[in-house]
Amino acid sequence: MSVFQDLKKYKGLLAIVFFLTLGNTIGELYLPRLLSLIVDNGIAVEDVQYVLKIGGFMLIVTLLTIIVRGSASFFSAKAAMAFSRDLRKRIFNKVNHMTFDETETLGISSLITRTTNDVGHIEQFVLLMMRPILRAPLQFVGGLVMAYLTHRRLTAIVLISMPIIFVLIYFVIRVVIPFFPQLQKALDRVNLLLRQRLTGLKVVRAFSRDEEEEATFDQANNQYYQLSTRINNTMSTVQPILAFVVSVTTVIAVYFGAKFIVDGTMNIGELMAFIQYTAQVMTGLVMMSRMLTIIPRTSTSISRVKEVIDYPSRKVGGTTRLNESMYAIEAKDLTFYYPGANLPALSKINFSLKAGEVLGIIGGTGSGKSTFLKLLMQFYEPTEGDLLINGIPINEINTDDVRKRLSYVPQQNFFFSESVRGNMQYSNPDITDENIIEDLTVAKAREFLPNDNPLDSKVVRGGANFSGGQRQRLAITRALARDANVYIFDDSFSALDYRTDYEIRQALEDRLEGVMTIIVAQRVATIRHADKILVLEDGEVKGYGSHDDLLAHNPVYREIALSQGEEEVSTDESKA
């Protein structure tokens, strides 16, 4: 997809800018001609009538030119801003639909730089191009033609300086181009360090790494400074040299022009107009050089933005609509490899779950518990085997239809910096205050909120003003706030003491009657009442059944249970 595709929407504006710029340039090319007429046919022969007539006309042309120029600048700014707004939106929407891994691959800091700084460069480019792209060549060619019409031989003399300018611009651009990708990378790094420093504040402090952090940042910051200084130093040589060439050319024109006037082959007014035309030709050139020097910077930004909007996102989900509620989940030899991984994170998983049932998933860290949940939420698609929702393979079902029916408590909780109410409304915008209070009570979160206006209490910095266990309880409340068919708890009871864990599960049993519940845990106590328990180890199923079953017959499960001091009594008979 082209970065500039959104410009098409502003065809109307662009056409207006085009015609205004055309008018502007023609006006500017016409004025010197009028000047030469006044001087040669009016002042030289002392014809006051003529001077007043042409002078009045000049005034009108000048006014029109100014108006046309101002409006062109207004409309081009409008089109450029609208364009960059659309481009930012396009990047945001794309990033919004990326998976976590994809955002990590591109880099979060880099994505931020691309959406702000790089889009800014492209916007500047569009703005700088819109008018000059027409005006510069028009002024250059038009100025030459008018100069030629004014005096042929003088034009030939002036033309000699052109090649010098072209050669100069060519070399500067060649020197500068390779630095731009480096410059944007350096800016990415500055942002990355700042971002890491801000999010990892506690770790930095705890290990007292402040000074090292400062040194690292200093270095990155300096690198950015040096690169941009080098680029700007090189680029800034262009303008003064051009100005010098323009001045020298004018001197030459005046020198030879004076001779032609003495010879009688040129009038004074014509020389004045001629000088103005050379100035216009040079302005056209300067404009074109500026356009050329902005191209390398922009092309770097364009390719960085393009990388995001063209990023081949992994397809998840299909087109089949789910019209009824979710009543069955079944895994058949479900196998999954993370992209690029050699070993499966899940291999040949089998289980089935129906409405009203609770599935417990237990296993050590890295056994694939969260990975299974990611498949269920369609963050990834199964590599082999099937995950069936109501009997339909999950990769054929529309993503929204699946996610709408799930409610999820993530392993790592995140909250938005607003009130408790606002956070609960994130999962269900229509929820009433009474219902929030009810859910807070079920999740035992009501008790640590103030008595007055509990729903207005603030959650700050992702939830940092609450303890780990309190955050888990708020996250459970948020999941309950939504009316779903499947409630998923990913290790959501780990930071709770046994008593609270137990009480919340009791309350949940009543609250979640008739729907499917999936509880991931490392503690046997948390899942022992589940209808079915899946025991995972290194992505494989090591046991599947009820707590009593597994305890009696499954060595892996029994070992986990025993290591956690569970149920010495009921194991007696199996041991015998």
Ligand X SMILES: Nc1ncnc2c1ncn2[C@@H]1O[C@H](COP(=O)(O)OP(=O)(O)O)[C@@H](O)[C@H]1O
What length is written for the chain?
576
The entry of ligand X, Mg ion, none near residue 341 (CB within 5 to 8 angstroms by kind) is ligand X
**Residue 151, token pair as written in the block:** 């005096």
**169 or 530: CB nearest Mg ion:** 530
Residue for token pair 């992209």: 339
Closest CA to 492 of 347, 361, 328: 361
- Output the CA angle 554-560-561, nearest 5 degrees: 85
Strand, coil or helix: what is 42?
Answer: helix
Q: How far is the CB of 363 from ligand X (least distance, A)?
A: 6
The entry of Mg ion, ligand X, none near residue 368 (CB within 5 to 8 angstroms by kind) is ligand X
Q: Please, what's the b/e burial string for 28-63 (b: 16 or more CB within 10 A of its CB; e: otherwise)?
A: bbbbbbbbbbbbbebeeeeeeeebeebeeebeebee
CA 417/CA 64 separation, integer angstroms: 54
The entry of Mg ion, ligand X, none near residue 101 (CB within 5 to 8 angstroms by kind) is ligand X
The entry of ligand X, Mg ion, none near residue 500 (CB within 5 to 8 angstroms by kind) is none
The entry of Mg ion, ligand X, none near residue 367 (CB within 5 to 8 angstroms by kind) is ligand X
Q: Which residues pair with 328 in a beta bridge?
A: 354
Q: How far is the CB of 561 from ligand X (least distance, A)?
A: 18
**302 or 519: CB nearest ligand X:** 519
Burial of 519 (0-12, 13-18, 19+ CB in 10 A): buried
186, amino acid identity: A
101, amino acid identity: D
Closest CA to 490 of 363, 322, 321: 363
**72 or 111: CB nearest ligand X:** 111
The entry of Mg ion, ligand X, none near residue 444 (CB within 5 to 8 angstroms by kind) is none
**314 or 354: CB nearest ligand X:** 314
Q: Which residues pair with 490 in a beta bridge?
A: 520
The entry of Mg ion, ligand X, none near residue 18 (CB within 5 to 8 angstroms by kind) is none
**361 or 440: CB nearest ligand X:** 361
Q: How far is the CB of 109 from ligand X (least distance, A)?
A: 19
What phi, psi does 352 have (nearest 5°)?
A: -145, 150
Residue for token pair 């300086």: 161
The entry of ligand X, Mg ion, none near residue 338 (CB within 5 to 8 angstroms by kind) is ligand X
Q: How far is the CB of 106 from ligand X (least distance, A)?
A: 15
CA 463/CA 31 separation, integer angstroms: 67
The entry of Mg ion, ligand X, none near residue 345 (CB within 5 to 8 angstroms by kind) is ligand X
**290 or 369: CB nearest ligand X:** 369
Q: How far is the CB of 368 from Mg ion (least distance, A)?
A: 8
**352 or 370: CB nearest ligand X:** 370
Q: Which residues pair with 389 in a beta bridge?
A: 329, 392
The entry of Mg ion, ligand X, none near residue 135 (CB within 5 to 8 angstroms by kind) is none
The entry of Mg ion, ligand X, none near residue 366 (CB within 5 to 8 angstroms by kind) is ligand X
What residues contact residue 507 under an 8 Å CB cut-off, 6+ apart?
Answer: 441, 442, 443, 444
The entry of Mg ion, ligand X, none near residue 196 (CB within 5 to 8 angstroms by kind) is none
HEC-encoded secondary structure of 359-408: EEEECCCCCCHHHHHHHHCCCCCCCEEEEEECCEEHHHECHHHHHCCEEE
**6 or 491: CB nearest Mg ion:** 491
Q: How far is the CB of 371 from ligand X (least distance, A)?
A: 3
**319 or 365: CB nearest Mg ion:** 365
Where does this chain bind ligand X (CB under 6 A)? 101, 338, 341, 345, 363, 365-371
**38 or 362: CB nearest ligand X:** 362
Where does this chain bind Mg ion (CB under 5 A)? 369-370, 411
Q: Which residues pair with 518 in a beta bridge?
A: 359, 488
Report the residue number whose CB is nearest to Mg ion: 370
**180 or 336: CB nearest ligand X:** 336
Q: How far is the CB of 514 from ligand X (least distance, A)?
A: 27
Q: Which residues pair with 334 in a beta bridge?
A: 349
Q: How far is the CB of 373 from ligand X (least distance, A)?
A: 8
DSSP 419: B
Q: How far is the CB of 99 from ligand X (least distance, A)?
A: 9
What phi, psi does 214 have (nearest 5°)?
A: -60, -40
Q: How far is the CB of 224 from ligand X (least distance, A)?
A: 31
CA 480/CA 513 separation, integer angstroms: 12
DSSP alpha helices (H): ranges in 177-237? 179-199, 201-206, 210-236
Q: How far is the CB of 126 from ligand X (least distance, A)?
A: 38
For residue 265, count other CB atoms closer than 10 A to its CB: 13
Strand, coil or helix: what is 98?
Answer: coil
**179 or 380: CB nearest ligand X:** 380
Angle (deg, nearest 10), helices 268-309 and 119-130: 150
Q: How far is the CB of 367 from ligand X (least distance, A)?
A: 4
CA 296/CA 259 separation, integer angstroms: 44
